[in-house]
Structure 1
Amino acid sequence: MSSVVSFSGGVVLLRPDAARSLAKAVIQASDAMAKRGQVMNPAVINLAMEISSAAGHPEPDQPPIEHAYEYEHITTNEAAEILGCSTRYIRRLAADGRLPGERRGAAWIFDREDIEVYKSFNR
């Protein structure tokens, strides 16, 4: 049995269980992205919340999501201090993909949490 009941005239009808599953998957994906410092389109998250509510799982009233999740970004120098190594080694780890980071021009930016996790697993 299909989860999509009807698709016509620009309207999609989903069975309630399929709508809840879809909304849950979008919200989980958003959470996973946020942990990596990425941001899902707020309109998509709000739509997932509306779908969940319409499918029988109302959420408490919350203001629409309009901002990105904030994580503490640190520089290569700060990452080197935390890990007790050189900035050159930090840049090499990042370039090799062994340390999560984002290249912004010539500089690297890291999430403090990623550096702390790396430190705890590489003692």
Structure 2
Amino acid sequence: MASVVSFSGGVVIIRPEAAIALSKAVLQARDAMAQRGQVIDPKVLNLAIEVSSAAGNPEPPAHVIEETFSYEHITTKEAAKALGCSPRNVRKLAAAGRLPGQQRGTGWLFRREDVEVFKQYRK
């Protein structure tokens, strides 16, 4: 049984179970990208939610945030300035897992929110 039922005149009709599977795949891709500091195109995310809804799932999964936004990422140097320490110390904190960050090649990226939380925690 084919997942795509019809494609004509710019309209695609797919079976509900295929629509739900497609939506889940997009949401999983969004989660995987978020772990690497990337964001999925908000139009694609909204389309996945709409497709899921049209297929009979009126509510998106609980972990889906209605409004899509990207976290502001900062460099090691910017994190050091915010924390009042050296970039070397920031790298050590990140390598030890005390400050959440993502290693990108030889550098690190940090979510500004994580740096602010760590700063408050240190006080």
Q: TM-score, normalised by structure 2?
A: 0.61
Report whether the alignment pairs 1:100 with 2:103.
Answer: yes
Report the CA distance shift for 1:40/1:102 in structure 2 as closer, same or farther (over 3 A): farther
Q: TM-score, normalised by structure 1?
A: 0.61
Q: How does 1:20-31 map to 2 (within 5 A)?
A: 20-31=20-31
Identity %: 48
* Partner Cα separation in structure 2 for residue 82 and residue 109 of structure 1: 9
Number of the residue aligned with 2:74: 73
Number of the residue aligned with 1:51: 51
CA distances 1:62-120 after superposition (whole Å, capped 9, x unpaired):
9853421x1653415846314549xxxx9xxxxxxxx72268xxxx44236xxxxxxxx
2:38 is paired with a residue of what secondary structure? coil
Please tell me the residue identity of whatever aligns with 2:104. Answer: G
Report the CA distance shift for 1:4/1:59 in structure 2 as closer, same or farther (over 3 A): same
Q: How many pairs align?
A: 94
Report whether the alignment pairs 1:110 with 2:112.
Answer: no
Report the CA distance shift for 1:66/1:2 in structure 2 as closer, same or farther (over 3 A): same
Structure 2 portions without partners, runs of 5+: 81-86, 96-101, 112-123
> Post-superposition, which runs of at least 4 consecutive aligned residues in structure 1 deviate over 6 A?
none
